[in-house]
Chain A
């Protein structure tokens, strides 16, 4: 009865080689989020979708893009990964609006060689 699923759990890529991380949800939530978490730091919001409306954080690098083809799936594309992009990437969902709990997936740990 997994609610927020992320694949793969571990991803190794080469410097500059595009990579896609995926997230799916069975909660039918309106909002999906992508966070980046580097070692010993708190998660940092990259962007979120409210339904099909895309909201980018001001300091999210252009190297990061996202797609949400339907309610259940959301993808994070890193066009040209650098060594500094090695991190845990967390997907979360919520119903939307204020005062709503966010539910997190298990994360994908990205290693850039």
Chain B
């Protein structure tokens, strides 16, 4: 089955810093989503981005489907950005969402 790897696994930042999270996937996908899982466990949709670039406030994402990776940029990080960031890809063959390994982000004041 399709493999989804995220890096780095852990990231510690001071408030105001910028960061880039990476998601690599091993095969063609129908779509790609980025999620933020907050400390209470809720998965919040950040982007639906099978290809191209999107921006939403301090967050932006870029997916290069032909090279099988996606990047999530967080600028001017805030303590509320803390949590785990997952990318998830829709397997081309099964239409199921396959989650990556996650990046745990901690932002300190």
Distance from B97 Cβ to chain A, minimum over Cβ atoms (Å): 6
| Contact call A106/B99, Cβ cutoff below 8 A | no
Q: When A and B form their complex, which 3 residue pairs have the shortest distance between CB atoms, in order from nearest?
A: A42-B99, A104-B43, A98-B30
**Contact residues, B93-109 vs A (CB, 8 A):** 95-97, 99-102
Pick from A102, A103, A106: contact of B41, CB under 8 Å: A106
Seen from chain A, the residues whose Cβ lies within 8 Å of a Cβ on chain B are 33, 37, 42-45, 88, 90, 92, 97-107, 109
Interchain Cβ contacts under 8 Å between A and B, 16 examples = A33-B97, A37-B41, A42-B101, A42-B102, A43-B86, A97-B95, A98-B31, A98-B90, A98-B95, A99-B31, A101-B33, A101-B45, A101-B48, A102-B97, A104-B42, A104-B43
Give bound CA distance, A104 to B40, whole Å.
13
Give bound CA distance, A101 to B49, whole Å.
10
Give the bracket for the number of chain B residues in contact with chain A. Answer: 20 to 34
Task: From known contacts A98-B31, A98-B90, infer whether A107 and B96 are also in contact, taking CB-CB under 8 Å.
Answer: no
Seen from chain B, the residues whose Cβ lies within 8 Å of a Cβ on chain A are 30-31, 33, 35, 40-45, 48, 50, 86, 88, 90, 95-97, 99-102
Distance from A48 Cβ to chain B, minimum over Cβ atoms (Å): 8
- Nearest CB to that of A33 among chain B residues? B97
- Nearest CB to that of B38 among chain A residues? A106
Distance from A110 Cβ to chain B, minimum over Cβ atoms (Å): 12
Interface centre among B45, B97, B99, B100 (most CB of A within 10 A): B97
Task: From known contacts A45-B96, A45-B97, infer whether A100 and B31 are also in contact, taking CB-CB under 8 Å.
Answer: yes
B45 contacts across to A, CB distance below 8 A: 101, 103-104
